[in-house]
């Protein structure tokens, strides 16, 4: 997705930014922040790869990313399409606002290609690693959010 910025993958401190699009505009940096800005969450899930992931994750709350003067989100957004390379899920906006874009797991930085990881209360296989963008959508009551997904299975 255009607008994603990532430094050298061999540098674990490289900055990771996520592009906001659709009914939102802006680019949000997810790492290189003060530790006080990172929220800790405990989560365990079964990844689409079949691997089980769990433990303590730390990252930027999605709600905090949106509460900045350089980010604009239209109030009629109902869903967020969380996208990585060739993988995307579409979740209700409330789910996204309660989520964290994790940059650490178990006190260690995630590898640059896997960061940030969307950690939310979602079904197995619907967390997203290496998030490139958050697309804010307004879906009608008859629209199926799954039509906006690319799950690869």
CATH number of domain containing 126: 3.90.420.10
Percent residues over pLDDT 70 in the chain: 84
pLDDT by residue (tens digit) across 68-84?
A: 888 889 999 999 999 99
Residue 34 lies in a domain: yes
pLDDT by residue (tens digit) across 95-120?
A: 999 999 999 999 899 998 889 999 99
pLDDT band at 34 (very low <50, low <70, confident <90, very high): low
Q: Looking at the predicted structure, is the pLDDT value of residue 88 above 80? A: yes
* CA–CA separation, 7 and 2 (whole Å): 15
Residue 153 lies in a domain: no
* CA–CA separation, 149 and 91 (whole Å): 10
- Name 65's Cβ contacts closer than 8 Å, sequence gap at least 6: 18, 28, 30, 71, 101
- Sequential DSSP letters for the chain: -TT-EE--TT-TT--EEEEEEESEEEEEE-SS--GGGPEEEEEEEE-TTS-EEEEEEEEEEHHHHHSSTT-EE-TT--EEEEEETTEEEEEEHHHHHT-EEEEEETTEEPPGGG-SEEE-S--TT--BSS--EEEEE---TT--GGGG-B---
What are the backbone dihedrals phi and psi of residue 54, each rounded to the nearest 5 degrees, phi first? -160, 175
Higher-confidence residue of 84 and 126: namely 84
* CA–CA separation, 130 and 113 (whole Å): 6
Q: Looking at the predicted structure, is the pLDDT value of residue 13 above 60? A: no
pTM of the full structure:
0.82
Report how many domains make up the chain: 1
Mean pLDDT of 121-126: 75
| pLDDT number for residue 9 | 39
Inter-CA distances, 137 with 31, 93, 99, 104, Å:
25, 9, 17, 28
Partnered with residue 128 across adjacent β-strands are 118
| pLDDT number for residue 122 | 82
Q: Mean pLDDT lowest for which of 11-20, 69-78, 127-136, 137-146?
A: 11-20
pLDDT band at 134 (very low <50, low <70, confident <90, very high): very high
| pLDDT number for residue 78 | 97
| pLDDT number for residue 125 | 67
Q: Which domain holds residue 22?
A: 5-148
């Amino acid at each position: 997705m255009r607008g994603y910025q990532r430094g050298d993958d061999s540098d674990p401190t490289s900055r990771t930014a996520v592009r906001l699009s659709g009914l939102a505009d802006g680019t949000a940096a997810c790492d290189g922040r003060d530790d006080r800005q990172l929220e800790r969450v405990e989560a365990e899930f079964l990844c689409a790869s079949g691997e089980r992931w769990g433990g303590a994750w730390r990252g930027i709350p999605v709600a905090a990313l949106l509460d900045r003067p350089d980010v604009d989100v239209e109030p009629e957004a109902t869903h967020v399409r969380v996208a990585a390379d060739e993988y995307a899920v579409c979740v209700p906006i409330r789910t996204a606002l309660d989520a964290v874009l994790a940059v650490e797991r178990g006190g260690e930085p995630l590898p640059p290609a896997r960061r940030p990881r969307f950690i939310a209360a979602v079904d197995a296989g619907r967390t997203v690693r290496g998030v490139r963008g958050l697309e804010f959508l307004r879906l009608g009551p008859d629209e199926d959010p799954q039509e906006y997904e690319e799950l690869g299975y």
